Chains A and B, each alone.
Chain A
Amino acid sequence: MAAYIIRRVLIMLLLLLLLTLIVFVLFSLLPADVARLTCGKICTDQTIELNRIRLGLDKSVFEQYWLFLSALFVGRTYGIGDGAIVCEAPCLGWSFTKSEPVLELILQRLPTTIFLALGAFVLFLVGGVLLGVYSALKRGGWQDRTITSVALIGYSLPSFFFGLVVIYFVIIRWQVLPFPQYEHPWDDPVQFLQTMILPWLVLAILYAAFYTRLTRSQMLETLGEDYIRTARAKGLPERTVIRKHALRAGLTPIVTAAGLDLAGLLGGAIILEAVFSLPGLGGLAISSVVNPDQAILVGITLVTATFIIVANLIVDILYAVIDPRVRVA
């Protein structure tokens, strides 16, 4: 088991390294002239050239990559002399449009995005699994049919449209909730919850519908397994058969799916922030496109991709904890 985890972690580190390379090369292939973009209002050919040198853009892509990578561990100084800008380790680049380290900018906004994604994650996972299990246990009954139909509707809702409709009714028409004004939970927990509840619901609803259906079908399949019959033949009470034997096997594929969806959810959260005007990574990303800042975009891409890779690692390890057959492989 320990060997398995160590191997997975090593693979993950390698993957992360590869990721930085790919992202870096991809962005350097873009036709945008970063030196021109970062030179500000009074722009002469001379300042552009100076910028180019200051940013290291005159060097080859691989030298630039090396500078970028080493900055993560030892920091980096842009330019020389009085005008030099120092970006301390871990340095994920420098934003010349905002005159701040990219990492700083991302860390300021990351919590909002993570709260949004995680809250929705917990909501859809708990909701979907509970409804799915209940539906499977009541197979064919009216409860099952109701849940299955509602899930089907939820599954086909376009979530942004739905988000806008919800805002219109809940906030503007009925005024059940105040207009969203994000505060961090440690500053004003009530305001935080009031602001987040709608985006959570909107983000979670599609996944909840999907997980209800997935859980239901997984449970039904598991309940038909031979080892469930064995558990009953032993004389176990039905409660234990479900809890100890069926749930563990039936929910294992859910773990995999959920881990992968957590990553996708982060993307969904970034987009949904615009609808609910939440100060997360989404706003930062959009402003860096409108007012081009490649360093920020590289940073955001790397941070989100890192989350996806780490989520995958956690899924793999969880899977091995649950299913002993995986550990040998």
Chain B
Amino acid sequence: MSHDFLQINDLRVSFPTDDGVVRAVSGLTLSVGRGETLAIVGESGSGKSVTAQAIMGLLNPLATEIDGRILLDGVDLLACDPEHRRSMRGSAMAMIFQDPLSSLHPFYRVGDQLIEAVRIHQDVTKKEARTQAIDGLRRVGIPDPERRVDDYPHQLSGGMRQRVMIAMALINGPQLLIADEPTTALDVTVQAQITDLMMDLQQQTGTTMIVITHDLGVVAEMADHVCVMYGGRVVEYGTTDAVYYRPSMPYTRGLLASVPRLDGAYDEHLDPIPGNPPSLIRPPSGCVFHPRCREREAVPGDLCSTVEPDLVTAGPDHRARCHLLTEGTP
């Protein structure tokens, strides 16, 4: 495990608010191997974006408390000099966001935004940076990049804008790319194109990738490993196959059952998980998922509501956080 490219240890992120402390991430431990693609799934509010922003260092330090360790290729991101960390953003690690329209500055030409990204990290002339920008646009499949480079974001379609964001993220050859719901804001027809593009580029460059998504189809297509988050915690982690075919935690099973599947494994009916996401200010005692769990009867006593289960081995390269795995009556 120590040679993993990205290693997160007991990450805790909380936001002090007027209503109390929001514990968005509570003790997240995770690792991603070099060149691998990890998918993070989980319902809204489970802490996916906060985790991504903690890795990138995009959380406002004045309004956030962060604890734990994040090692990127051996560099401790939370402990290193902020200036060094800034210089890693956009070069060692890059991120693309959900809404490409609002993520591009409306007043600047896409070319200028790309050129800016190049020149922060590379000591090149404007002309050379422009050439790189055009090449970058070509690489993400934007037709006629010599002309498009002078467009403003509002002159491009949603899919094109997301391609620009991808070009911008990749322009300095980052080793880690984080994509936070890169297709959610796009038309269904365009979603597949963007997914394909990211997979192609990942193959070409060998970039390590973290994809946050609600689309389990995207997960199956792109990811080597899947991490399921719930209430700011990892509740299941494993290879995509293991998690899909042997989900070991009731929440994961519910998640998989709530989407129609083409391969017939769970295709009987749509089955969204009943109940509401847990409060992050006053989380439930014991297992955070227990108030919504349909399988807790299988665990003896009131273990689920009193003791938080550990992340235990559920198979080779597969772990889950559930009392069923240790105490359950099969």
Contacts and interface: CB of A to CB of B under 8 A. Distances in A.
A109 interface: no
Interface in A238-284: 245, 248-249, 252
Report the contact-size class of chain B (Cβ under 8 Å from the partner).
20 to 34
Contacts of A322: 107
B115 to A, nearest CB: 11
A235 B106 contact: no
A252 B105 CA distance: 13
A232 B58 contact: yes
Nearest to A225: B102
B230 interface: no
B90 A229 contact: no
Contact of A229 (B97, B107, B168): B97
B107 to A, nearest CB: 6
Interface of A: 140, 225-227, 229-237, 245, 248-249, 252, 322-325, 328
Interface of B: 56, 58, 62, 86-91, 94-95, 97, 99, 102-107, 109, 116-117, 120-121, 152, 154, 165, 168-169
Nearest to B120: A235
B91 A324 contact: no
Nearest to B57: A232
Which interface residue of A234, A236, A248, A325 has the most chain B CB atoms within 10 A?
A234
A248 B107 CA distance: 8
Given A229-B58, A324-B152, A325-B154, A237 B86 contact: yes
Contacts, number: 67
B91 A235 contact: yes
Nearest to B98: A226
A241 to B, nearest CB: 10
A249 B103 contact: no
A235 B107 contact: no
Contacts of A229: 58, 97, 103
A256 B150 CA distance: 27
Nearest to A322: B107
Contacts of A232: 58, 89
A233 B58 contact: yes
A140 B60 CA distance: 13
Contacts of A231: 105
Contacts of B106: 227, 249, 323-325
Contacts of B97: 226, 229-230
Contacts of B168: 230, 234
Contact of B105 (A140, A227, A328): A227
Contact of A233 (B62, B95, B105, B109): B95
Contacts of A249: 105-107
Contacts of B120: 234-236
A226 B107 contact: no
Given A324-B154, A325-B154, A230 B89 contact: no
B152 A325 contact: yes
List of 10 A-B pairs having minimum Cβ-Cβ separation, nearest first? A235-B90, A235-B89, A226-B102, A234-B90, A227-B105, A226-B103, A324-B152, A234-B117, A233-B95, A230-B103
A203 B117 CA distance: 44
A235 B95 contact: no
Contacts of B95: 233
19 contacts: A227-B105, A230-B165, A232-B58, A233-B56, A233-B90, A234-B89, A234-B90, A234-B116, A234-B117, A235-B87, A235-B91, A235-B117, A235-B120, A235-B121, A248-B107, A249-B106, A323-B107, A324-B109, A325-B152
